[in-house]
Structure 1
Amino acid sequence: MQTLTITPNQNALLEMAEHIWEIAKSSKTRPLVILPTAGPNASLRQALERIRPSLDQANVPFLPEVHSLSDWLELAPDIFLIPDQQSQTERILQTYASIDAHPELQTWFAAEGEGGVWSLAQAIVSACELLSQSIMPHLSWDPNTLDLKGDMQKLESVLQSAIDTAYPKLAHALVSKEANVLLAFWRYLGSVRDPIIRKHLALASYVQQFAQHPQSRRPLIWIDTVEPQPAQASMQTQFLEACTPYIPVHRLQMDWSSVALWSEAVSAEVGAQEEAQAQHNIHTLKTKTIHCITANRFEDLAWEATRRIETHLKEGRKHIALVAQDRLLARRTRALLARLGPSLSIADETGWKLSTTRAAAALHAWLELLRSPSEGPSASTLLEFLKNPFLDLEHLLNTQESNCDLLITELENALLIKQAHSSWVSFYLTIEAGTSSEYDPRLQTLLQVIRQRVGQWQSKAMQTPYCAEALLQLHEDLSAFGMKQGFEQDAAGLQLLHMLQTLGMQQSKLGQLRMPLNEWLILLKTVMEEEVYREQGAQTSARVSILPLSSTRLRYFDAVVMVGCDERQLPAFSEPPLFFSETLCQVLGGSSIAWQFRQQARDLSQLIASYEHIDLLWQSEGARGEPLRAAPWIQRLQNHLPTLATIQAKAEQRTAQARPSAMASAHRLPGLPMPTRMSPSAYRALRSCPYQYYVRNLLGLRKRKGLDEELDASLLGQTLHQILRNFFQELKSTQIREPRLQDPQYRQTWMQEHLHHASEQGFLKLLEGDKRILGSLRDWQKQIPSFVAWQLERESHGWQFHDAELKVGFEFSFADAHHQEHTVRIEGYADRLDINTTLRQAAVLDYKHQSPDKIKKRADQLMDDPQLLLYTKAITEEQKATDHPVIEADWVALKMNLKKKDSSERSFKLNHLSDQVLVLEKQLQQDLSAVWSGSAMQAFAPESACRYCEARGICRKGMW
């Protein structure tokens, strides 16, 4: 076996191609070239084509055959005799089934909580992969004498020896117990379908082919672009030595001594010679154009990376590498580069997770609905699913009608207006409350179909389903929603459907596998997270390739922009598998942090040595404002090369003239239609802040409220109003036919019992949707005895319930400053109307879910919130509800301090009611005339009114 060294710089590919052609010339055959990964394949073929000798010189009509190792193994001569390898998901499922059958393992490994068993299965499979890798050097290279069972037994002594070396005696007993469990799982998973063992069998079949079939013999050129891990290095050396008796073997290895910029990149053993070599290599960088650029903010750095790429393109460099040490920043830069138009092709080789695509997001939204409680999902979860672009509403509702997309907008608006945060019941109540024409009746059907689909998953049989049945149900759901048809028209969607099909094939091999629904949903999300989606860029003259640092080896680029060069992200490393310490992993021949650091130092050295134009960018401040320095490797370079000093990213210069803000003020716009109706709440807004009235009522702007999962206070108030209305109407009808209600003691008992029952019934639907409302129900039920006592005392003064939730209003005429007459109807819903038949008088009552102390404060600003006065005027003028004059108006508190015994404090009566109504009429004339006349509507409200004002984002109070 001949070993050659290659210097990994800008000439590495040409040097490699020259060696390959020399071997082809001397052997007069087409050599076989094997690379560890597929990344450099195209670049190496281009280099071979560039220096291709004439046919007379080489006598080889075709280019040397170049393969990545994984592709070459799939072409092994006896590969069809070897069973297909198990996928990672299939191995995890197999392990999961075994753990699930042994609860003592779950207890011993503390696999608790949702997804605990699934996470444990993943960790065990990762550990078993390392065990398989460590046994590779002990396997035979003769397929006829290969004894997997016998060779597997060797692993026990190998692992025991590694444990003795890596762990102190105190931890030995515990670790040995874990090791025995892992060995049992490794034997369970270990077979010819194990990916690593299958790889060994494929290599062994090549050795057998070279030995038995002379016509297949030709030079083998094995290229190592990285330093292999110890176990891999031993396996590769054994394979090449096994091939040497039959074919010429040439091993091309990288020699980093002339390009390494740090001593640890020269060799694993660092000494004075390595330090001197690194210092010598650093001084060769003086001829290169290297910029070290930093910015404080994430967005500024993304713009700077975009500007650097744009600069390279303008200077004639057509193929730019964007090295994504910080993937989030690289993808933000990619979004900014998209603004340059279709003339720039962008290829992302970092491997987007399938879970980041919109197709996966649509499926994820449905899975989140399935995880919702039996009462129903949150409104935000429901809307997230309904808004996914793959949902076909026409197909779902089985209708040909248009404007189905507007259904989602109507539903969202209804939920926002009613603040229905969660549960199917609150959603139905919201739709039922919107009986006006603006609500589409198909909303009820839409909710019912989705609830029915979700209900199938929440049945008892589906709480621990067979995996095959759960997958079949998911396919039926996707078809019913029309999402499957949408996925078939989308590249990521097609990959998602293929993933589900593959998962079904893997699960079918495990027989009747059951798992809890939540863990099965976690399985789906995990598979989506592990699936790689690669976006293909169009062919253009200018290209940007987004790739990780490791993928830059042996590639051609005109310039390199690397982002994420701060101390937090460079170098990066991965932790050893669970159950393995760093030392044990290293003893078994696996990866170590030192090996990862050394390889990244070599990759960065190779990158800097191979290209003339390099930009290194990083963010100088973290998310919390903490300072971030450059990566230690870059700092060490800067210490020796002052020309690499850090440059602050140049932000775009913006000039502006400061202008002090003034109080927000508005005038009626010409042609703006003025309202013909006004509610008491609208008039309250006009009184508290005219500017607020202008924004909300004249312009019709509303703040988009969030749909979180807080307790719905507004729905509680509406429910209490309905309970009291139904209760008093029942009392009114019952006392006519039941004389015993005239007895005070019986009446009190009857009222308390029936109000308790009415409250239970009224809160029943709400409790179905949110159990937290039970506390509010109990609080109200504690108020019932005091409320009944107050009602009886009121009845003793001659007042009787007459009606509730009564719509009342009146026409108000006024003249503006231009002497034009206008009429506005002011109307609203009065909570309750009582009459005194003896005195032929009426009283209007308004329930407040507040304490009496807060109600008393309302009286101090009665003219700013004259709701009771407006109802008084409306009932008196229209005389529809009663022909008795309203002589009393009261606020009634529904939240009393029960430690106080005086129930009469529950209501607060307005004094001088008739005089107050006259004052209100004059005030209405002035206020409405000013607005209709075009007077300025200024924002002069007190802070208490501004605290929760929806128009504050427009008036900007606090800035003037």
Structure 2
Amino acid sequence: MAPPPPRSTTVTASITALSTTPPPSMTSPPLGDLPLSPVDFPLQPAHTSAAIWDGVARRASDWLEAHGLSARDAVLLLPFAQHLKPARVAWMKLSRWQPRIETTRSLASALGPSPLPHAQQITEDAAIDALAARTLLSGQTWAEALRKEDPRAYDAAVQRLVEAAHALARAAALRDPALRSGFWEQGRQGLAQQSGVGHLERALLAVALEWAAADPRAPATDALFALRPSAWLHLQCGGPDPLAEALLASADAAGIPCLRLNADLPLDAAFDGGAPVGRIEQAVCDDFEDLAQCSAASVLDHLQAGRAPVALIAQDRVLLRRVRALLERQGLGIQDETGWTLATTAPAAQLMAMLRAARREATVDDWLAWLKTPLAASLREKGGSASLSALEAHCRRRGWSVPQAVRADRLPQGSERLWEAAREALVPLQLRGAQPLETWIAALGQTLQQLGADEQLKRQPAGGPQVLEALWLSKTPWPGSGHEAVLRGAQLGASEFVDWVSQTLEAGEYKPPLEGGLQIMITPLARTMLRPFGAIVLPGADAATLGPVPPGPVLIGDTFAREIGLPTVEGKRQALAWQFAQLLRAPAVTLLRRGHLGSEPLAASPLVDRLDLALQAAGHVLPHWHDPRIEASVPAAHVDRAAAQAQGRLPSTLSASAVESLRQCPYQFFARVLLGLREAGELDVQADKRDYGTWLHAVLHQFHTERVDGRDPQLDDEGRLQRAAQDQMRELGLAPAEFLPYSASFARFVPAYLGWLSEREADGQRFERGEVDRRVRPWAEIEPALSELALLGRIDRIDDAPHGQLLIDYKTGSLKGLKDKVANPLEDTQLAVYAVLMDAADSDAPAALHAQYLALDDSKGIAEIEHEHVKETAAVMLDGLRQDLMAIHGGEALPALGEGVACAYCEMRGLCRRDDWDGAAP
């Protein structure tokens, strides 16, 4: 490059000087006469985003030519990489020699790579640096005390330390290398003067400061300060750029001419020069969905009007996901510059599902979630097409909530193969104790290879290769690098490894490729500046979304940040205002927001209020957006209660619960029994009352069976009952810690039950059989249409009593509910069905048949609730059931009754549309 002229001056030129007609070069003021501070200017049509680059090129070229500076040896620095193309195109129009047009980052990358971090040096990888930070803190007594006392607080402290160290390292890299040591000393002095910070926070910040300061590497941007171009030119937009400011100050001190072009707009006085350049409008929407639909409609309206591409500003990512989903239905070309968190991609979710299943504390739900993913496709092939659904059905039916409870020998053959193959596949990931991180990564790679999932991830376009790379499965660290040191040295337990994978994926980024021509660009507010968009749509222009600035590191307060020159809240807020003001250069801007957040009113963003005031000061108003959506009137439809037809269609079997459904609500019977619809049961890890009831039934059956068989006669009844309790807890896979509340109830139950049993045996009552399965065809002889229909059920217990045979059904529910059930015997279905099963299936059944519910967890002890005259009740029920079934067979409708408790808790309520009936309660 040519040597600089002897005289040097840093010059700041306002964009006011930019115009469509270049000023004569001979009339340009000398260097010393150019203004040294920004000059405010009115917004003019020539200063829109689309035209401003021509003015930038002309003003910079004229300045270089007027002062005899070599353009080809000059450097023009721009705010973002997206500005490079329009700037170069604008300069080509001048047919003059171009300077080197770069950003600070692109120029530094061209000059040479950044040095690799070594052991204990900051890598800028949050998950890797968190592990390195643990090593730094391992020698600190206060940190070790915190780790032992509160592991969660320790983990949070490590994250805050890494966050602060990264912020300090980035801030130091923006300084002049000659002044960097002063930055660190200023930081130490500022930390020593802090008085309002807790001891823990101060200690963590001190470690972060010294960790960042101890890094001897020179950032790649340091090479910029050694350059000696003929001139530095810098375009400022969106507020000062610290690195560019430091570079220009250093160049000025070295005698290199510098020109700063300031494109910032003062929001409060943006319209002092006249009317708005483009069309600006705002809309207030009702709720989240209305805001999403209006945003999508606004984008489509701009595209239809020929204003393309449209910039869709990503202020609220949750809202943007919904807006994007609406726009993708139109087949538009959408590019997302913000990217997605790698953890939100399908490959990452599948990998995390597998890792969650490999944990020791995993649930059966975790296993099923993993087995349903594409990563487990090879396992499903081993079991067969229906093996997974059968496995899930068995687990839900038997209540197996943890993998240890699953009995493979009780599964169908295909499901057994699937389960055993899944167990074998996860063996590499079930290491014991702490292991080096690279050992865990190798184990993960081995598991993926065994499943054939590594090749599958490589083929998944939506983030698969990026996931493998982020987790060091498809790449290796450089020898001697900081990454290699952490991968080899960090010792992690199983749960810590899963946390590391999660953090790594959260920190990763995936940018979906553009398919088709560009029509919509999703981008942050800052990156819309000076770009030739046809229109800009900003959803979320409210006080909760557009206005609050992102917080800085927790450990770095605003006062300390101001002392050492880090971004403060005030500075961020001013930068946001500059970025927002640049929207005014666009041909069309639509601002949309919600008027309410729930039941609370939601105000407009302070920036929108300032824009409105600036327009009013210039004699204009902020117009309301015209909704382009087409309204269509949909007449209200009369909805009557549902009814089903099942002529000639009857089930082959009926249980007591099916009979109860028919008596409660015919439509419920239609859905549950005739259609076979079921609500999938939850596999809760925490034991509930249902688990307790199932377990207690099994305990009593084992107790009485072993007692009748005379097994282990040396055991007394209490010991036998306690042993049965432990056996059944293991059989059902119930963890003692989770079952503790019910174990305490069982401790009270044992003496109460044994006392009741002793009294009944003294009266001559004896246990005969338990868990008795019955299946009968009660109408085979009298009704041909029902001859093949069978009643079936399992009776908890049959006793021999002095007054006849006694059916007992164990209950762990409310005693009052049981009494209410048998208060009107004709309303009790269960014991009546059991009586039918006994009387019809056993030709030797005694004439005297009795039935009772036995309440096992009543606070006053064991309670008996007798169903009187159960044989007569069973006969009435059987005849009424025959009539109902024949009516169904003949084509009589099965209406939804919509009454009573059975309707309130019915899982078929959505199927019969109960809440949509005329006259239904709102």
Q: 2:887 corresponds to which residue?
A: 930
Q: How does 1:268-283 map to 2 (within 5 A)?
A: 277-278=269-270, 280-281=272-273, 283=274
Q: 1:575 corresponds to which residue?
A: 551
Call closer, same or farther: CA 1:97–1:192 in 2, change over 3 Å. Answer: closer
Q: 1:868 corresponds to which residue?
A: 831
Amino acid at match of 1:235: A
Q: Which moved more, 1:774-783 or 1:695-704?
A: 774-783
Q: How does 1:417-436 map to 2 (within 5 A)?
A: 417-420=397-400, 422-426=401-405, 428-429=406-407
1:704-756 CA-partner distances (Å, limit 9, x unpaired): 44444442433332322222222222122218x97xxxxxxx9xx82232122
Q: Distance in 2 between matches of 1:203 and 1:122?
A: 32
Q: Does 1:475 align with 2:442?
A: no
| Contact preservation (8 Å) 1:638, 1:645 | no
- The one of 655, 680, 700 equivalent to 2:633 is 655
Q: State the secondary structure of the residue aligned to 1:29.
A: helix
Q: Does 1:811 align with 2:777?
A: yes
Q: 2:11 corresponds to which residue?
A: 3
Q: Does 1:201 align with 2:222?
A: yes
Q: How does 1:424-823 map to 2 (within 5 A)?
A: 424-426=403-405, 428-429=406-407, 440-449=415-424, 452=427, 456-457=430-431, 459=432, 461=433, 464-491=434-461, 492-501=463-472, 506-510=482-486, 512-540=489-517, 542-608=518-584, 610-622=585-597, 624-639=598-613, 640=616, 643-647=621-625, 652-668=630-646, 673-734=649-710, 750-766=716-732, 768-769=734-735, 771-813=737-779, 822-823=787-788
Q: 1:222 corresponds to which residue?
A: 234
Q: Distance in 1 between matches of 2:696 and 2:169?
A: 67
Q: Does 1:105 align with 2:143?
A: yes
Give 1:592 deviation, angstroms: 1.5
Q: Distance in 1 between matches of 2:393 and 2:477?
A: 40
Q: State the secondary structure of the residue aligned to 2:856.
A: coil
Q: State the secondary structure of the residue aligned to 1:812.
A: coil
Q: Distance in 2 between matches of 1:6 and 1:407?
A: 72
Q: 2:39 corresponds to which residue?
A: none
| Contact preservation (8 Å) 1:118, 1:523 | no
Q: 2:349 corresponds to which residue?
A: 361
Q: How does 1:70-469 map to 2 (within 5 A)?
A: 70-76=105-111, 86-89=123-126, 90-105=128-143, 107=145, 113-132=150-169, 141=178, 152=181, 154-155=182-183, 157-159=185-187, 162=190, 171=196, 182-183=205-206, 185-191=208-214, 194=217, 197-199=218-220, 201-204=222-225, 206-207=226-227, 210=228, 219-228=231-240, 232=243, 235-241=246-252, 244-245=255-256, 249-256=257-264, 259-262=265-268, 277-278=269-270, 280-281=272-273, 283-285=274-276, 288-341=278-331, 344-370=332-358, 374=360, 376-389=361-374, 391-394=375-378, 396=379, 403=385, 406-420=386-400, 422-426=401-405, 428-429=406-407, 440-449=415-424, 452=427, 456-457=430-431, 459=432, 461=433, 464-469=434-439
| Contact preservation (8 Å) 1:86, 1:193 | no
Give 1:22 deviation, angstroms: 4.6
Call closer, same or farther: CA 1:446–1:233 in 2, change over 3 Å. Answer: same
Q: Distance in 2 between matches of 1:633 and 1:72?
A: 34
Q: 1:915 corresponds to which residue?
A: 872
1:180-213 CA-partner distances (Å, limit 9, x unpaired): 764555344435665xx42453234x33xx4xxx
Give 1:72 deviation, angstroms: 1.5
| Contact preservation (8 Å) 1:293, 1:616 | yes
- Identity, % of aligned positions: 22
Q: Distance in 2 between matches of 1:240 and 1:593?
A: 30
Q: 2:31 corresponds to which residue?
A: none
1:63-104 CA-partner distances (Å, limit 9, x unpaired): 543322112112226978998983343544332211133241
Call closer, same or farther: CA 1:942–1:180 in 2, change over 3 Å. Answer: closer
| Contact preservation (8 Å) 1:300, 1:651 | no
| Contact preservation (8 Å) 1:99, 1:105 | yes
Give 1:484 deviation, angstroms: 1.8
Q: Distance in 1 between matches of 2:872 and 2:73?
A: 110
Amino acid at match of 2:105: S
Q: Distance in 1 between matches of 2:175 and 2:913?
A: 75
Q: Distance in 2 between matches of 1:292 and 1:932?
A: 63
Q: Distance in 2 between matches of 1:254 and 1:156?
A: 30
CA RMSD in angstroms comes to 3.5
Q: State the secondary structure of the residue aligned to 1:813.
A: coil
| Contact preservation (8 Å) 1:115, 1:518 | no
Call closer, same or farther: CA 1:73–1:192 in 2, change over 3 Å. Answer: farther
Q: State the secondary structure of the residue aligned to 1:411.
A: helix
Unaligned 5+ runs, structure 2? 1-8, 16-46
Give 1:280 deviation, angstroms: 0.9
Amino acid at match of 2:726: E
Q: Distance in 1 between matches of 2:632 and 2:204?
A: 65
Q: State the secondary structure of the residue aligned to 1:644.
A: coil
| Contact preservation (8 Å) 1:677, 1:825 | yes
Give 1:615 deviation, angstroms: 0.8
Call closer, same or farther: CA 1:814–1:808 in 2, change over 3 Å. Answer: closer
Call closer, same or farther: CA 1:412–1:684 in 2, change over 3 Å. Answer: same
Give 1:512 deviation, angstroms: 2.1
Amino acid at match of 1:734: G
Call closer, same or farther: CA 1:221–1:664 in 2, change over 3 Å. Answer: same
| Contact preservation (8 Å) 2:61, 2:71 | no
Give 1:446 deviation, angstroms: 4.3
Give 1:536 deviation, angstroms: 1.9
Amino acid at match of 1:260: P
Q: Distance in 2 between matches of 1:86 and 1:796?
A: 80
Call closer, same or farther: CA 1:243–1:133 in 2, change over 3 Å. Answer: farther
1:530-568 CA-partner distances (Å, limit 9, x unpaired): 22211221242x511010110012211111111111111
Give 1:312 deviation, angstroms: 1.6
- The one of 793, 796, 817 equivalent to 1:854 is 817
Give 1:302 deviation, angstroms: 1.2
Query: Which TM-score applies when normalising by structure 2?
Result: 0.85
Call closer, same or farther: CA 1:402–1:347 in 2, change over 3 Å. Answer: same
Q: 2:38 corresponds to which residue?
A: none
Give the total of aligned pairs: 860
| Contact preservation (8 Å) 1:553, 1:603 | yes
Amino acid at match of 2:805: A
Q: State the secondary structure of the residue aligned to 2:634.
A: coil
| Contact preservation (8 Å) 1:32, 1:219 | yes
Q: State the secondary structure of the residue aligned to 1:74.
A: helix
| Contact preservation (8 Å) 2:267, 2:610 | no
- The one of 945, 950, 958 equivalent to 2:907 is 950
| Contact preservation (8 Å) 1:156, 1:183 | no
Q: State the secondary structure of the residue aligned to 2:542.
A: coil
Q: Distance in 1 between matches of 2:829 and 2:206?
A: 80
Q: 1:824 corresponds to which residue?
A: 789
| Contact preservation (8 Å) 2:458, 2:465 | yes
Q: State the secondary structure of the residue aligned to 1:40.
A: helix
Call closer, same or farther: CA 1:951–1:401 in 2, change over 3 Å. Answer: closer
Call closer, same or farther: CA 1:520–1:117 in 2, change over 3 Å. Answer: farther
